[in-house]
Amino acid sequence: MTAVIHEQQAVPQPKQHGKPGGFLRHTNIVTGVVLGLVLALVTYAIGGLLVPWGTENSNFLQVGESALVAATYTAWVIGFMIGIGAFAGPIRWWLGHDLTHADAEYLAGKGQGRGKYWKYTTDHKVVGIQYLVMGLFLLGFGGLLAMWIRTELGVTWAEVFDPNFYNSIIGTHGIVMVIAMIIIAAGPLGNFIMPLMIGARDMAFPRLNALSFWLLFAAVPPLVSNLLLGGMRDGWTAYQPLGTQAPVGMIGYQVCIITFAFSTGIAGVNLFTTIVTMRARGMTWNRVPVFVIGILAAAIMGLVWFPMYQYSQVMALSDFAFESAFFIPQNGGSVWLYENLFWLLGHPEVYVIVIPVTAALMEVMVVFLRKPLFSYKIAVAGFAGVVGISSLVWVHHMYMTGWSPAANYPFMLSTELISIPFGFLVLVMLGTIWRGKVWTRLPMMCVYALLWNKIVGGITGVYLSDVPVDQYMHGGMFVVAHFHFMLMGAGLFGAMGAIAYWFPKMTGRMLNERIGSIGLWLSFFAFQLTFGSMFVAGLQGQPRRVLQFDDAFNVSNWLSTIGAYLIGVGMMIFLYAIITSWRSNVIAPSNPWGAKTLEWQTATPVPLNNFPVLPVVTSDPYDYGVPDPYLAIEKKLSDENQDTKVGAR
């Protein structure tokens, strides 16, 4: 047999201009913040000189100030992105200086130690850690606002906060927690774990991956600062035309959502492209891990529906700052347009939050039960059904508005129908647990917490989908309890389980499960107290978004407030477990759980290129209890060799 050996040719490299990394060697989060603040202050100063305050008409002062604040926030976002280095790539391309291999390695953070986490770094693992830290910060800030709300409601017939500031706390808490819950699983795990799970070396568009995170970072300060500028007093929905009557703090919310929508859109395109085009050889669609399917489903919903939310805020900002009339009825606008645009995303975002954590805990179950999913195909059908029907349910948020009453009952039907594919997911999880021998660890405990909260939230959601019931419950605390069981009860406890499961791979350390379990169960039982009491208050008729109540609701409010503070204590304990374990706990082996998916088959900490050799997939990832055919062949050959040796003797 003759073999022809071809000399391996080196890949041609463009000319290296300066040191690897170029301009990005001098940028980091500090330069981003400084340049963002400088550009914002310069814009405000120059704009203040150009705006003829109050000289045109009695309303020009307000309009001029609003336009100036909008320009200042926009300047902050642009200045920060320049300072962090987001535009270095396009400028280099325009100058004809293509990236060399050395440039790409510098961008990925090679040899930069911990400093890479504070820079515009393209390595998907770094971006995943950045998302994790940002998600934890947002959860902490949103939780602090929740404590303020419950403090006010726990005090009978007294004002802890000014009513306008209290309303601003409610609105800011709502949107901060929605953003936090959208990113807390899909952000860190979708970026860090998903490429490893499909056997890829990185995301499809590494520089866009970094762009998506830093756009999120730039969106947060405008949202937080709204509390200093009068706040957003109309709830997280910011219904129009009330929004145009708010203080200029409303602009911070609008700029945040517009910027965050760009972030999610870029991230969604990247996740979708990576999953579709970069799976390892042999990873056919029936071998794709279920977590990857969940991330794909969330990315599709975000790509389709998040632009609707963005459009609503672009038009609302135009009405607020430039006197357009998209949503102002007396000038020919339509409030129905805003509500439809808002809820076209406002309800699918529930599934954008819940679907990834559900899929993540399905991965957890098969490992800690050592058995395949009850039905992989039914799980995939459930995800697909939720994605499809989620586009047909938004109007149930508008039953009481008077918009198109004839549409109420068709949308009542579609809302009830979505419980079927969602029920598929619950049944798959229950079927997997059935007769399983459980390895009881912290991630598996979170599976039980998620299932309980999802069932409670799902059943109460069926009630609220019915028009007659919603007419009674609308605007009450029953609704608040329901959506917290879904968004926090399922979303947050699911994220806790997913983080605990993949913590060893992401950090190289084992999570302290004793402390983490205390935080989990304290938070779980406190959660039942907090929002179970709200169900009772809602059935009694207590309205939401009201500062003071009749004495009939005192007991429910006191119990909810006590429970809320206990949730805060439990979350702080869980956070303490994360921080202390990350810093000093036991070093994690490559595969501490004995899992079969690809992310556990590479070294810990994960090398820059993920895999020394790209893997080839030969079976599905859940064949627990099924003999490996290759191991069987090896054993047979070994036995035959042993028999041969014995015969020779």
pLDDT (tens digit per residue) in 267-317: 999 999 999 999 999 999 999 999 999 999 999 999 999 999 999 999 999
According to DSSP H, which parts of 8-59 are helical? Answer: 29-50
The values of phi and psi at residue 201, to 5°, are -85, -25
Please report the domains of the chain, with CATH numbers, ordered by start residue. Answer: 17-111 (no CATH), 121-601 (1.20.210.10)
What amino acid occupies position 141?
F
Q: In this predicted structure, what is the pLDDT of residue 601?
A: 92
Q: How confident is the model over 156-169, as pLDDT tens digits?
A: 777 889 999 999 99
Q: In this predicted structure, what is the pLDDT of residue 235?
A: 87
In the chain, pLDDT over 70 holds for what percent of residues? Answer: 92
Q: In this predicted structure, what is the pLDDT of residue 438?
A: 93
The values of phi and psi at residue 594, to 5°, are 70, 35
Residue 235 · residue 544 · CB < 8 Å: no
Spans in the chain with pLDDT lower than 50? 1-8, 54-61, 630-631, 633-634, 645-646, 648-649
Cα gap 536→527, rounded to integer Å: 14
Q: How confident is the model over 353-383, as pLDDT tens digits?
A: 999 999 999 999 999 999 999 999 999 999 9
Q: In this predicted structure, what is the pLDDT of residue 436?
A: 87
Q: In this predicted structure, what is the pLDDT of residue 56?
A: 44
Q: How confident is the model over 422-464, as pLDDT tens digits?
A: 999 999 999 999 988 899 999 999 999 999 999 999 999 999 9
Q: In this predicted structure, what is the pLDDT of residue 456?
A: 96
Those residues whose C-beta lies under 8 Å from the C-beta of residue 482, and which sit 6 or more positions away, are 457, 460, 461, 464
CB-based burial of residue 377 (10 Å sphere; 0-12 exposed, 13-18 middle, 19+ buried)?
exposed
Q: In this predicted structure, what is the pLDDT of residue 545?
A: 85
How high is the mean pLDDT of the chain? Answer: 90
Pick from 637, 556, 628, 501: which is nearest to 150 by CA?
556
Instruction: Please state, as a whole number, how many other Cβ atoms lie within 10 Å of the Cβ of residue 646.
Output: 8
Pick from 381, 358, 372: which is nearest to 498 by CA?
358
Pick from 1, 235, 126: which is nearest to 507 by CA?
126
The token pair that represents 133 in the structure block:
């830290």
R_g of the chain, CA atoms, integer Å:
27
